[in-house]
Amino acid sequence: MRLAVKLAMLATAANAMAACLPPAAQASGWRPRRHVQHRLEQRFRSEETPAQAGVRKTAARATAAAEKSQQQQEVSAPSSEAQRWLQSVQGGVKQLWGSERPVYSEGISDRRLAYGSGAPPSPSPLGWVALAVAAGVMLLLAFGRKLRWPWGGGRRGAGGKWVRDRSLGGKMVFIADDFEPAGAAPASRRARPLWDDDSAGSAGAAAASGSTAGGDADAGPWATAAPPTASTAAEPDWWQPPNFAVYSTASRKEELQRQARGVLRQLEDGKLLQGLDYPVSGLVALRTLCQEAGGYQVKARTESGRDSMLRAGVRAAISAAQEAAYSLLGGDMPAKFVCGLAHDLGVPDKRAATIVHAEVAAVCRSALIDAEAAYRAGNQSDILTALIRLAATLQTFPLPRGSAEAELVAAGIGKQTSLEFRKAIFFEFGEVSPDLAALAAELLGFDPQLVMPVLLEQQAAAAAERQRTGIQE
């Protein structure tokens, strides 16, 4: 069938080419080579008689004599008779010829005209249209398989669609809508669009996948917990709106605003031109100037640069919280410094909270990985140091209940560490910071409602044991 279509289109193209040619009656009289050669060999021929040639020469001599006499008039005035004679000769020549140039009966004054004359007869325009259509159809048949059309993929059919199978050499195969290939994942673990999930369906699917991924379905309260529903609070608990109750004159405010813009440009130029990180001293200076200027907001060049500066400030605030060195932030508390810097840079509150939670999640994951390495090495002091870092970070910027950041940390830690390690770290963290034990349980992948009673029971037993030992002593 396809071969017949190609042959038909080939015949159509041949007919179109034939239609483009001029009729034979018009083309028979056209000899391009003989015509051009005749034009090139043609010479200038004149019908001028010898008498006319003599008169023309005499007129030329008279004109030359008149020009010479006109030049001599500056020295001496010419005679009136000679002047009248010259004028009469010139008038006779003009009456005889009508112009000063000779007239030729045949010949071409410009040799280039010989190439432009004698054009062939024009072809029919309808023939070119037919030829273009035939050529387009031929190209479509030849390369149609390799083209990807924007309006469709495989052809749809009843209960499925037709697609090309590369393993079969590009043949068309039919795939039913309810087809499930061998070895495919079960429906509970099959990939699905996130926008098709509601809160209940997402939690149920995550619980099913989490319980089977770690192999701890029968671990009791230590089984992998389903992610709880995230809280919908507008602002986190640690958020502190800045206070700009600072009095200053108008001139002083203008000067402080100018200095704040200068500090911002220095930070951006250092990052852009020299590749330097945003220094903490520059961020603190920007925070101080904007605060003294009555809550002035600077405008960064790009949103990514603005977020990067806030991210650097969050890292500095977390480091200051871990080391209890608040002087690094200009004397402000970490949460207050971050909230004020977000306002100074013009970062929306929701975006600022997202950046802070992302940085906190990264620090928590790093601390848990360090604790896992120390646990394998049997170094109790390094485990305690990592847990203190974790507690200081969560004490300053606690993650909200059911946050996506805590869920991601729990998913990564659950895959990289063992259940024994997570249980040991949970009990150890409960000794370091009991108030944050529930949040630590969520970071470790446990359900706080199940593991917190176990922790409290163990702590009560340990306290009773210490009390009994003290009474006996």
The pLDDT of 434-457, averaged and rounded, is 88
Q: What are the tokens at 454? A: 């176990």
pTM more than 0.75: no
CA distance 335 to 356: 10
Higher-scoring residue by pLDDT: 140, 304: 304
Which pairs count as long-range contacts for 34-41, CB under 8 Å and 24+ apart, including other chains?
A: 35/117, 35/118, 36/114, 36/115, 36/118, 39/108, 39/113, 39/114, 39/115, 39/117, 39/118, 40/111, 40/114
**Is the per-residue pLDDT at 302 higher than 80?**
yes
Higher-scoring residue by pLDDT: 104, 276: 276
Band of residue 108 on the pLDDT scale cut at 50, 70, 90: very low
Band of residue 40 on the pLDDT scale cut at 50, 70, 90: low
User: Could you tell me the residue ranges of all domains in the chain?
Assistant: 250-347, 362-472
Tokens 């390094």 sit at which residue? 382
Do 316 and 280 meet the contact criterion of CB atoms below 8 Å apart? yes
N- to C-terminal Cα separation, the chain: 103
> Within its chain, how far is the Cα of 217 from the centroid?
44
Task: Please report, rounded to a whole number, the percentage of residues in the chain having pLDDT higher than 90.
Answer: 24
Residues forming beta bridges with residue 171, ordered by sequence position: 165
CA distance 367 to 374: 11
At 103 the pLDDT is 43
The pLDDT of 390-411, averaged and rounded, is 90
Tens digits of per-residue pLDDT, 268-301?
A: 988 888 878 899 999 999 999 998 888 899 999 9
Return the minimum-mean-pLDDT range out of 78-82, 263-267, 399-403.
Answer: 78-82
Q: Cβ–Cβ contacts within 10 Å for residue 258, how many?
A: 12
**Is the per-residue pLDDT at 161 higher than 90?**
no
At 352 the pLDDT is 93
**Is the per-residue pLDDT at 140 higher than 80?**
no
The DSSP call for residue 144 is G
**Is the per-residue pLDDT at 20 higher than 90?**
no
**Is the per-residue pLDDT at 233 higher than 80?**
no
Band of residue 162 on the pLDDT scale cut at 50, 70, 90: confident
Do 297 and 264 meet the contact criterion of CB atoms below 8 Å apart? no
Supply the mean pLDDT for the chain.
74
Tens digits of per-residue pLDDT, 190-199?
A: 444 443 444 4
Higher-scoring residue by pLDDT: 455, 77: 455
CA dihedral for 400, 402, 407, 410, sign (positive or negative): positive
CA distance 145 to 6: 15
Radius of gyration of the chain from its Cα atoms, rounded to whole angstroms = 49
Band of residue 115 on the pLDDT scale cut at 50, 70, 90: very low
At 318 the pLDDT is 93
Band of residue 337 on the pLDDT scale cut at 50, 70, 90: very high
